[in-house]
Chain A
């Protein structure tokens, strides 16, 4: 079935560092979404992207919809402790049914000891 390749799988951050993660797909997507999930909670939407090349920011977060429509990245600048959590990319495949989002496997952000 359709899969998204999300990397890295996990990373350790030190306060103040910039963080980058990305997702790639073998299919063309018409929507890319980035969610964050904290323990015991459902995913919360961070950024939504709707067209190729779109670059959108939400505070310290910046995400881009790749020109090929097969990839997206999320950057977090000047990380803070509350950035810890699991980040998921998700996409709506061209021709896919509404609400049928394909999710990446997540990037787990932890604080560097």
Chain B
């Protein structure tokens, strides 16, 4: 299955600033996804990163807050804009694995703490 690298692995951010998380996959993948894991919680899908078109956002997530880029089939970025302490979470990049369309492989995550 694909190997996914994310950076930064963690960061401490000031309220009101924005941070861009990068995700690199070691092979070409059709679909990439961004998930959020709030402290002690489960994972929630933010959006699907589509190559060549705008990202598809889930209910409760908007492009102005979480702009996403997908310039090619191996790379995507997620920006967390105008951060507040409520945005303190682990942000996880994922891609479909090789064993099935619904099987996702995840990166190690980017742990953001907003002060």
Contacts and interface: CB of A to CB of B under 8 A. Distances in A.
Nearest to B101: A98
A100 B111 CA distance: 21
Nearest to A1: B59
A42 B106 CA distance: 6
Given A41-B109, A42-B109, A104 B100 contact: no
B92 A42 contact: yes
Contacts of A42: 4, 92, 94, 106-109
A81 interface: no
A88 B100 contact: no
A45 B105 contact: yes
Interface string B15-42: 0000000000000000101000000011
Interface of B: 1, 4, 9, 31, 33, 41-45, 48, 56, 58-59, 92, 94, 96-97, 99-109, 111
12 contacts: A30-B102, A31-B100, A31-B103, A42-B92, A43-B92, A45-B97, A45-B104, A48-B102, A88-B42, A99-B45, A99-B48, A101-B43
